[in-house]
Structure 1
């Protein structure tokens, strides 16, 4: 059991998984660009021309990383993530997932305020009223910058509707 906790995830495995994921992202970029057009028109390059080649570069870089991990690996046996570190990572990852779900259901401003308040209280050890004031201040600043300053509406939920913020 102690050996399992020591080697939860190896660095080699993580490099291979990352290479495959970035190659998949490169493929998605290439496919989307291809659908937009990757050729030249009378006006110059079509919309997908440059993104397509960026996707190709991402795929090539990912393949080099994958081949290096498979055949020329120098960090054999090096641990990337232990169970103890995984708990710490989940302490940040799970609140981010909650932030995304809350933002989709209740709006970005409510999600941001709850995330900042929760992170400050549970991970930073701040008193609830300090965390709440900071969360409201940051959320208010986001509203001023995006909605008023840049005139870019962010995702709003039912609470903003009840308050007449639209």
Structure 2
């Protein structure tokens, strides 16, 4: 077991470096994400889930932007949008309404749809501590969202 831990620690810098390189490769989309997802000065960047980490080979990406309530209060708000790679470059296809939750992860791409997992509040859970794992499907043409069973 300790060997596995040592291996994980040894590989961590390489994995982190690869993730940083992928994020850097996608920096060109930041102005498009700022406009499409209404990212304002002082707010963090969007989290992008592309179908390929190489922007030249990718066709679609789903962007999540979490931000604090802009009119007061302590709510965390979310804007989700879909991006498409077309012949002239990347475009904001439009907002994705009806997808909720925190910690987006496990994005999987299929012809015509993206599936992604978030964490939502379960019944009787305090706002601080959601635990309900929820899977979503987003149609990449219509941007319609379906909550999966």
Q: Do they superpose with TM above 0.5?
A: no
User: Taking structure 1 as the reference length, what is the TM-score of the superposition?
Assistant: 0.21
| Structure showing greater relative contact order (alpha-carbon pairs closer than 8 Å, 6 or more residues apart) | 1
Structure (1 or 2) with the larger CA radius of gyration: 1
Task: Give the number of the structure whose residues are more often helix, by fraction.
Answer: 1
Task: Give the number of the structure whose residues are more often strand, by fraction.
Answer: 2
